[in-house]
A and B are shown apart, each in its own frame.
Chain A
Amino acid sequence: MYAYSEFDKSFLASRNAQFRAQVERRIAGHLSEDEFKPLRLMNGVYLQLHAYMLRVAIPYGTLNSAQMEMLARLAEKYDKGYGHFTTRQNIQYNWPELRDIPDMLDDLERVNMHAIQTSGNTIRNVTADHFAGAAADEIADTRPVAELIRQWSTDHPEFQFLPRKFKVAVTGSPNDRAVTRAHDIGLRMVERDGTAGFEVIIGGGLGRTPMLGKVIADFVPREDLLPYLEAIVSVYNLLGRRDNKYKARIKITVHENGLEKIRALVEERFGAIKARFSGIDQQILKSIEASFAPPAFKKSDTAIFEESRAKDPVFRSWADTNLHPHKAEGYSIVTVSLKAHGATPGDASGAQMRVLADIAKRFGHDELRISHEQNVILPHVHQSHLPDVHGILKRHGLASANIGLISDIIACPGMDYCALATARSIPIAQQIATRFDDLKLEHDIGALKIKISGCINACGHHHVAHIGILGLDRAGQESYQITLGGDHTETAAIGERAGPGFSSAQIIPAIERLIAAYLEMRLSEDETFIQSYRRLGMAPFKAALYPEKAQENAA
């Protein structure tokens, strides 16, 4: 795992000291809120509905146990005992007091963590496939490249005041688990003639104008990646609109100027700056790569895993749902669900974080990941340890066997916390999860992605959900709009609006009708919801959602 260099350490220490002084000046009245706000945002501090919020970056979603323990400590010492993991592989603390935040940042610094560029019009936390370095299907671990991008983008003098926020995601696997096509820049590792490089995708984004990214270059060799990225961001920096914040993201720049023009400008800029990189970045990358060397995987018997699977149905259900194939023989990737039925998606208590840190230490080569789907991953667990791991998880409410199922919902904080929200999202997620758990239908329904956002900003990724739910304010009432057919994977798609919204009392029954229709129409148990939708189109699902309308039309 990457450990901070002396340069990183002194940079962070001076940055934290600077922010501490700014907070003191704000409290003493020497800075107005207008002066202070951009400063706090540069350090990840928001003011939400009920309190301040501190957003801490978890670069490419990777943590070791000491870092997870520190996150637990912050939750208990400065918050109300929990933290919220988000779709951008960050953790948000919902209740810190302004005075305490500099102390929190100092605590984070001790474990090589920070909140820099988790907000503002900068290059944000670089996200990555949460299975990177472990998945059987990947070409290579992309985290060294993600770390290189983090170092390049952090405090990059040219890119502190971009037209708008800028998000980069990286995947090293043909199965895209990083939603690369919904990012300002998406990078997908591909191979050409036996060497790995990147397909570069630009102009994706969600929010009020959802767009899928377009391929600007189908193969950029690894050694050209940083100058190529620099070229893209500097073209955007000049061309991106600053007159209208809703048109400021690169997706609009690409849309308005056309991909061809942007590509030509990027190529030109790339040609001009490439020489400046002179291979230093590649030397840095080499040393970063060394710190991401795979752990020493052990070889031992896995019989106990098969035995437990055969005799314990609860373990089997969990193992069949929450495990993913690992590249090393005898190992599995464990996804720990933070979606216990009725709980807040993505929340973990300090105690749970400690348990996870402890499992990682004892059984997981000291590694943890946070997924954009708001779950925690133990990337390297030998199968002989799985029964023990499951037992511990069970005792701490962390053994829900629901990964990829209807209750594995992404939900943004919505109007329970967020000042921009137009409706709540958490209670809708809680109700869907408990309802289908009561019906005992979850495993029968099978693979399904529900994602909920509390406003048009789409932090909950609802556009790329099989069933997306968007909370709006309609004449002073919470109203929920459904989109269908979105897809967040390598076959990415933006969902289509099904029709008028539902009140908070109607939305759960509407989802139930939708699912009932799917169960009735699917060709077999093997046909997933999204496959049925693609085969049948919107009409029959719409009819299920709006039965009165369907009857009117028939009459």
Chain B
Amino acid sequence: MPRSTHQFTPKVITANALLEGDVVYLTERDCWTRDLREAALLTDEADAELRLLQAEAQTGVVVGAYLAEMAAGTHGPEPVHFRERFRRNGPSNYLHGKQERI
């Protein structure tokens, strides 16, 4: 793949848990959390791509790992796009995604 010249924007690695399907995020210590605030915000492109490969290899733990754009917030990473906001919060029609815990 040609190296792009664009600036790399911060990202987290996210996926769904194999057993429950829950949204999960990769932490600094390479384990998975259900709380976005605990996710590692990756700012270096090479590092992000390498860690994504490692995450994808964990097929017995997670499904569909990808890099999701985030911004640094006061309490950890914050979604940039609304899709990631919904993934973090759970559905808006019932209070039983993760809103209950936020």
A50 to B17, CA, bound (A): 9
Option from A33, A48, A52, A415 in Cβ contact (under 8 Å) with B59? A33
Q: Size class of B's contact patch?
A: 20 to 34
Expressed in whole angstroms, the Cα–Cα distance for A47 and B20 within the complex equals 10
Binds B, one of A258-266, A390-398, A423-431, A514-522: A423-431
Whether B21 pairs with A52 at a CB distance below 8 angstroms is yes
- Residue in B23, B59, B92 whose CB lies within 8 Å of A32: B59
Given contacts A33-B59, A33-B63, A49-B23, contact A415 B93 (CB under 8 A): no
The answer to whether A50 and B64 have CB atoms under 8 Å apart is no
A421 to B81, CA, bound (A): 13
Determine the distance from Cα of A98 to Cα of B21 in the docked complex, in whole angstroms: 8
CA–CA, A416 and B90, complex, Å: 7
Asked if B93 contacts A29 (CB within 8 A), the reply is no
Partner of A426, one of B60, B81, B92, B97: B92
Number of interface residues of A (CB under 8 A): 29
Cβ contact within 8 Å between A48 and B92:
no
Interface presence of B51 (CB below 8 A): no
Interface 1/0 per residue, B16-29 and A, CB below 8 Å: 10111111000000
Q: Tell me whether A10 is interfacial, beta carbon within 8 Å.
A: no
Contact between A51 and B59 (Cβ–Cβ < 8 Å)?
no
Q: CB of B83 within 8 A of chain A?
A: yes
Residues of B contacting A426 in the complex (Cβ-Cβ under 8 angstroms): 91-93
Which of B19, B22, B96 is within 8 Å of A80, CB to CB? B96
A108 vs B67: C-alpha distance when bound (angstroms): 38
| A415 to chain B: closest residue by CB | B86
Contact of B20 among A49, A97, A416 (CB under 8 A): A97
Whether A33 lies near B82 (C-beta < 8 A) is: no
- In the complex with contacts A29-B60, A33-B64, A47-B94 CB distance below 8 A: no
Q: Which chain B residues lie closer than 8 Å to A480 at the CB level?
A: none
- Shortest C-beta distance, A354 to chain B (Å), equals 20
* Nearest CB in chain B to that of A53: its residue: B21
Given contacts A33-B63, A427-B92, contact A476 B82 (CB under 8 A): yes
> A416 and B59: CB pair below 8 A?
no
Chain B residues whose CB sits within 8 angstroms of the CB of A473 once the complex forms: 82-83
How near does chain A come to B100, taking the closest CB pair, in angstroms?
A: 11
B87 touches A (CB below 8 Å): yes
What residues of A have a CB within 8 angstroms of the CB of B87 in the complex?
Answer: 49-50
- The answer to whether the Cβ of A477 comes within 8 Å of any Cβ in the partner chain is yes
A100 CA to B71 CA, complexed, in Å: 36
Residue numbers in B under 8 Å from A478 (CB-CB): 82
Selected from A26, A47, A99, A424, the residue in CB contact (under 8 A) with B92 is A424
B60 proximity list for chain A (CB < 8 A) = 27, 29
How far apart are B50's CB and chain A's nearest CB, in angstroms? 20
A241-284 contact mask (Cβ, 8 Å, vs B): 1 or 0: 00000000000000000000000000000000000000000000
* Given known A-B contacts A97-B19, A426-B93, A47 and B82 have beta carbons under 8 A apart: no
| A318 at interface, CB cutoff 8 A | no
- Are the C-beta atoms of A417 and B18 separated by less than 8 Å? no
A364 to chain B, nearest CB (A): 29
The residues of B that contact A48 with a CB separation of less than 8 Å are 21
Complex Cα–Cα for A27 and B97 (A) = 24
A337 within 8 A of B: no
The reply to whether the CB of A89 lies closer than 8 angstroms to some CB of chain B is no
* B21 & A416 in contact (Cβ 8 Å cutoff): no
Q: A50-B21, A50-B90, A51-B21 are in contact. List 15 more A-B contacts (CB 8 A).
A: A26-B18, A27-B19, A32-B59, A49-B23, A49-B86, A50-B87, A50-B97, A97-B21, A98-B18, A98-B19, A344-B93, A415-B86, A416-B91, A473-B83, A476-B81
Residue positions of B touching A, CB distance < 8 A? 16, 18-23, 59-60, 63-64, 80-83, 86-87, 90-94, 96-97
Top 6 A-B pairs ranked by shortest CB distance? Answer: A416-B91, A51-B21, A29-B60, A52-B21, A426-B93, A344-B93
Q: 9 A-B Cβ contacts within 8 A?
A: A27-B60, A97-B19, A97-B20, A415-B82, A415-B83, A426-B91, A426-B93, A476-B81, A478-B82
